[in-house]
Structure 1
Amino acid sequence: MDERTGEVLAAAVLTDRVGWAAGLVSGMAANLLARHWNCADVDVLASGEDAGGRALPSNAWMALRRLGWTIAPAEGVKVNDRIVRMAQEQAGRVLRAAKWRADLTAGILTTWPGDPDRRTAEEWDATREAVPGGQYLPSNVIKSRTRHVTAFVRKAGRMPLDVFEMEAAPRIARMLLLSACDGQQATIERADEPGRALLRLQLPTRPDPASYKDWTWVACPITLPPTVPADAVIHLPTLRVTGGQVRADLAYTHAVPGTRRTGHTSALGVDWGLNTLLSAGAARLHDDGQTTALGSGGQFRAAGVLARQHRLRRLSEHLHTKADHLNGSRQETNSTP
Structure 2
Amino acid sequence: MMAGVVCRWSALGSRPSVGMGTQSRVGELMGDDLGVEVGSLMADAGLPALRQFSFTTRPYLAVDDITGEPIGLDDVDTRVRWLLDLISGAEAQMLSRLWQPATFDVLAAGVDRQGRKLPVQGHVAAARLGWDPHYPDGVYVPSRVTRVVTAQVMATLRTLAYRGTAIAALSERFDPATGTLAPPTEPGDWVPLGFVRGVVRQLIARARREGGALAGRLRITDMQGPPQTSAMARLSAADRQLAQLTAAEFELVLTVKLPTCPAPAGRAQWRRVRLTATIPGHLHSRAITDWHLPTLVLDQRGLLWRCAATELVPSGDLGSAAVAVGVDWSPSTLGAAAITTENSDGLSSDFRGWTYDDRGLGIKLGACRPKARGCTAKLPS
Please report the TM-score for the alignment, with normalisation by the length of structure 1: 0.79
Letter in 1 for 2:306: D
Letter in 1 for 2:112: D
User: How high is the sequence identity, in percent, across the aligned residues?
Assistant: 28
Letter in 2 for 1:148: Q
**Higher share of residues assigned helix:** 1
- From 61, 64, 84, give the equivalent of 2:146: 84
Match of 2:58 in 1: none
Match of 1:152 in 2: 206
How far the C-alpha of 1:43 sits from its partner, in A, is 1.9
Please report the TM-score for the alignment, with normalisation by the length of structure 2: 0.71
Match of 1:273 in 2: 330
**CA offsets per residue over residues 207-262 of structure 1, 9 Å max, x none?**
11111111111111122224542433111011111113211111111223334331
User: Would the aligned equivalents of 1:267 and 1:284 in 2 still touch at CA under 8 Å?
Assistant: yes
Q: Report the Cα distance in structure 2 between the residues aligned to 1:224 and 1:271, rounded to whole angstroms.
A: 35
**CA offsets per residue over residues 287-306 of structure 1, 9 Å max, x none?**
8979799xx97848597499
- From 223, 244, 250, give the equivalent of 2:307: 250
Match of 1:262 in 2: 319
Q: Report the Cα distance in structure 2 between the residues aligned to 1:236 and 1:113, rounded to whole angstroms.
A: 49
How far the C-alpha of 1:164 sits from its partner, in A, is 0.7
- From 117, 137, 142, give the equivalent of 2:196: 142
Letter in 1 for 2:279: L
Q: Report the Cα distance in structure 2 between the residues aligned to 1:309 and 1:181, rounded to whole angstroms.
A: 48
User: Would the aligned equivalents of 2:65 and 2:272 in 1 still touch at CA under 8 Å?
Assistant: yes
Q: Report the Cα distance in structure 1 between the residues aligned to 2:358 and 2:232, rounded to whole angstroms.
A: 31
Query: CA 1:146/1:79 → structure 2, altered by over 3 Å: closer, same or farther?
Result: same
**Higher share of residues assigned strand:** 2
Per chain length, whose mean CA-contact separation is higher, i.e. which structure has more relative contact order (CA < 8 Å, sep 6+)? 2
The alignment partner of 1:57 has SS state of: coil
The alignment partner of 1:232 has SS state of: strand
Match of 1:335 in 2: none
- From 268, 271, 286, give the equivalent of 1:216: 271
Match of 1:165 in 2: 222
- From 43, 51, 54, give the equivalent of 2:113: 51
Q: Report the Cα distance in structure 2 between the residues aligned to 1:132 and 1:315, rounded to whole angstroms.
A: 40
Match of 2:298 in 1: 241
Letter in 2 for 1:150: I
Letter in 1 for 2:109: S
Q: Decide which moves more: 15-24 or 261-270.
A: 261-270
Letter in 2 for 1:220: L
The alignment partner of 1:251 has SS state of: strand
User: Would the aligned equivalents of 2:255 and 2:273 in 1 still touch at CA under 8 Å?
Assistant: yes
List gaps (5 residues or longer) in structure 2.
1-62
Q: Report the Cα distance in structure 2 between the residues aligned to 1:181 and 1:289, rounded to whole angstroms.
A: 55
Match of 2:80 in 1: 18
List gaps (5 residues or longer) in structure 1.
327-337
Letter in 1 for 2:326: G
Count residues with an aligned counterpart: 310
User: Would the aligned equivalents of 1:116 and 1:146 in 2 still touch at CA under 8 Å?
Assistant: no
User: Would the aligned equivalents of 2:287 and 2:311 in 1 still touch at CA under 8 Å?
Assistant: no
Q: Report the Cα distance in structure 1 between the residues aligned to 2:232 and 2:260, rounded to whole angstroms.
A: 17
Q: Report the Cα distance in structure 1 between the residues aligned to 2:145 and 2:225, rounded to whole angstroms.
A: 25
How far the C-alpha of 1:155 sits from its partner, in A, is 2.6
How far the C-alpha of 1:130 sits from its partner, in A, is 6.3
- From 289, 295, 298, give the equivalent of 1:232: 289
Query: CA 1:101/1:304 → structure 2, altered by over 3 Å: closer, same or farther?
Result: farther
